């Protein structure tokens, strides 16, 4: 990673985005804050994310993409775990045979390249995107699946609660009916007894 950071800094110096003095300062700052070099440069106001991405694209000859206008294939996203995507700021874009096309905020990171290649088992074809664009795309395309799962889970749980409530309501009604029947049974038996006795005595009217 140290080599990748140095190369990124050198490229930005070559494009005129950074002076040698500024590069030395941000590399020192980076070691203390433990952030990616591009983040430190942006945090210190030395360059914007767009300027860094454009400089890398020109110097490396790698296409620059706007992820807000780039279709992302679900089958490509499935190949890279979200944890890996967030760690290395990478978004899988499309799958073309054995080639996995990805957008990277730091195309010079050998560790990122190898982790993605190992996770997917594919040959990696890179494009460049801004850090903000990558994070936005990760939120959009990885959280979609989890959001749908959450919705289905919530709907299932809600329906289960309704079923339990319906069952309990039915049980309460059944219990109430049984109670009423049990309370009414002695009265019915008493009335029947009165009727039988009256019949035996030849009574025409019964007054209770």
Residue-range domain boundaries for the chain? 1-61
Identify the pLDDT of residue 204.
53
Q: Which pairs with CB-CB distance under 8 Å and at least 24 residues apart come from 59-63?
A: 59/11, 59/14, 59/15, 60/11, 60/107, 60/108, 60/128, 62/107, 62/126, 62/127, 62/128, 63/127, 63/128
pLDDT category at 74 given cuts 50, 70, 90 is very high
Identify the pLDDT of residue 50.
95
How do residues 170-194 score in pLDDT, each as one tens digit? Answer: 566 665 665 565 555 555 544 454 4
Identify the pLDDT of residue 8.
82
How do residues 113-166 score in pLDDT, each as one tens digit? Answer: 999 999 999 999 999 999 999 999 999 999 755 444 444 555 555 555 554 455
């Amino acid at each position: 990673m140290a080599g990748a950071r140095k190369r990124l800094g050198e490229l930005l110096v070559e494009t005129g985005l950074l002076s040698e003095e500024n590069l030395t300062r941000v590399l020192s700052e980076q070691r203390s804050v433990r952030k990616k070099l591009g983040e430190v440069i942006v945090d210190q106001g030395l360059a914007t994310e767009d300027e860094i991405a454009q400089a890398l694209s020109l110097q490396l000859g790698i296409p620059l993409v706007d992820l807000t206008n780039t279709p992302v294939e679900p089958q490509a996203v499935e190949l890279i775990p979200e944890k890996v995507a967030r760690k290395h700021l990478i978004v899988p874009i499309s799958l073309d045979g054995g080639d996995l096309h990805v957008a990277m905020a730091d195309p010079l990171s050998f560790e990122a390249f190898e982790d993605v290649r190992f996770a997917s088992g594919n040959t990696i074809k890179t494009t460049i995107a801004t850090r903000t664009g990558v994070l936005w795309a990760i939120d959009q395309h990885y959280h979609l699946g989890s959001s749908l799962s959450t919705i289905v889970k919530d709907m299932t749980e809600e329906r289960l609660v309704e079923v339990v409530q319906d069952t309990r309501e039915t049980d309460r009604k059944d219990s109430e009916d049984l109670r009423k029947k049990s309370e009414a049974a002695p009265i019915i038996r008493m009335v029947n007894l009165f009727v039988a006795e009256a019949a035996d005595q030849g009574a025409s009217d019964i007054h209770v």
